[in-house]
Chain A
């Protein structure tokens, strides 16, 4: 879903960079210093998830996880995804400097939208069915919106990109369902094993409470 360097028009690049800067500014204001290590884990997870290949028939897709990130982090998903994408650009050459803004926006804005729409359902108190459905919807919706935004960025660059944009969205339809399902199962797992990761209450734990250091 990364858009390569040199494809998009200047207008789209500038708009993307501007909106991402605004989103990151909001995210950073909410990000406490003590949270940085734990948000770092999630950005690293976002990075490593792109290496997990899920088989679909003869082909395979890789995980995106921006939905899960959004459900957990809210606006803080903006800096988290920005950093993840910057590292992908540096280490794998996916995307680059000028497209960093657009690519971050395409991934992080859906994450924030999903946070507002569905995060109420993934609280610890939520009923199991509500929890599963919201997590599924979060994962699914984030991928769908991301693919729409990618398509839209291409379309805004030139009308000739319309068929390409359609193919991009169509190709992500199966990814949506898989991502939704995996997000739901994964969130359920986390709820049972490590609920504080989902709660956002992971913050004070890191800084104050002494740990029984094992391993």
Chain B
């Protein structure tokens, strides 16, 4: 399957109340995203790795998940150093890289990775269904959470159908190339995917109605704030507040 949230292990972080995780990850992301000071960013990244250590996320998994994040960042490294005004650092032919430019991209890289490390450890390690219920408890509109559940459910259905159709095409000797035939075949593939998933979704929904679905999804796991959750929440809020204060005082 495409989609795996890694519910790896049973560490301290894994057992936290998902609502706490969402709140902490969101606040952390927002604060780091608007910060500009080196100290704050480096501390945020360090904090991120501390959480990784506590959560016991395998390094390999973490790096594998950070690769797509750094795609755009790498792309920016090729441009921004040369397009910023400022003191020249080095030059390649007519292109002059500036110190300001390099610093700017470096800050973006740290920021981006700090946020993603925390997001991966806190959020991506929680099962999607738990997250959905936690979002609902936190006041996200019911329609959005339902859409979220249905979409997650259908992603699997669609991907499954997609793999079946691709296999069927391969068996019949289809090889994708740059030509009209390929484009047409792929367009029909997507169309067929819609049709099949639509019919499947119809059946699923009707089955739900037969079993008395009245627009409410129930969670089997009850959330409860334990002492450890409160301690973690207060600790993290304090650290995030610390980052805000640090950022603030440095600017002034």
Contacts and interface: CB of A to CB of B under 8 A. Distances in A.
B76 A164 contact: yes
Contact of A5 (B75, B111, B162): B111
B159 interface: yes
Contacts of B79: 161, 163-164, 167
Contacts of B155: 44, 47-48, 87
B186 A52 contact: yes
A197 to B, nearest CB: 6
A54 B183 contact: yes
Contacts of B128: 87, 90-91
A86 interface: yes
A70 to B, nearest CB: 15
Interface stretch (B196-204, B225-233, B234-242): B196-204
Contacts of A93: 65-66, 68-69, 116, 119-120, 124
Interface string A1-23: 01111111010010000000000
B88 interface: no
Interface in B77-126: 79-80, 83-85, 101, 104, 108-116, 119-120, 123-124
Interface string B199-236: 10111111001000001000000000000000000000
A36 B217 CA distance: 13
Interface in B117-150: 119-120, 123-124, 128, 131, 141, 143-144, 146-150
Contacts of B187: 181-186, 189
A92 B192 CA distance: 25
Interface string A80-121: 101110110111111011100000000000000000000000
Contacts of A80: 147, 151
A164 B190 contact: no
Interface string B174-188: 001110001110111
A36 B112 CA distance: 33
A51 B2 contact: yes
A176 to B, nearest CB: 14
A87 B152 contact: yes
Given A49-B190, A93-B69, A182-B187, 6 more contacts: A4-B72, A7-B72, A7-B76, A40-B151, A44-B157, A161-B80
A37 B33 contact: no
A31 interface: yes
Contacts of A56: 178
Give the dominant DSSP class at A's interface.
helix
B193 A189 contact: no
A152 interface: no
Given A45-B193, A45-B194, A36 B3 contact: no
Interface stretch (B12-20, B23-31, B50-58): B23-31
Contacts of A79: 143-144, 147
Contacts of A97: 25-26, 29-30, 115, 119
Chain A, interface size category, equals 35 or more
Contacts of A86: 148
Nearest to B2: A51
B164 interface: no
A91 B3 contact: yes
Nearest to B160: A48
Contacts of B199: 215
Contacts of B34: 10, 13
A41 B26 CA distance: 28
Contacts of B152: 87
B243 interface: no
Contacts of A125: none
Given A5-B69, A33-B215, A54-B186, A43 B151 contact: yes
Nearest to B190: A186
Given A44-B151, A189-B191, A213-B206, A28 B29 contact: no
A166 to B, nearest CB: 10
| Closest 8 pairs between A and B when the two form their complex, measured CB to CB | A40-B150, A6-B111, A185-B187, A189-B191, A44-B154, A6-B112, A5-B115, A10-B34
A185 B183 contact: yes
A69 B109 CA distance: 33
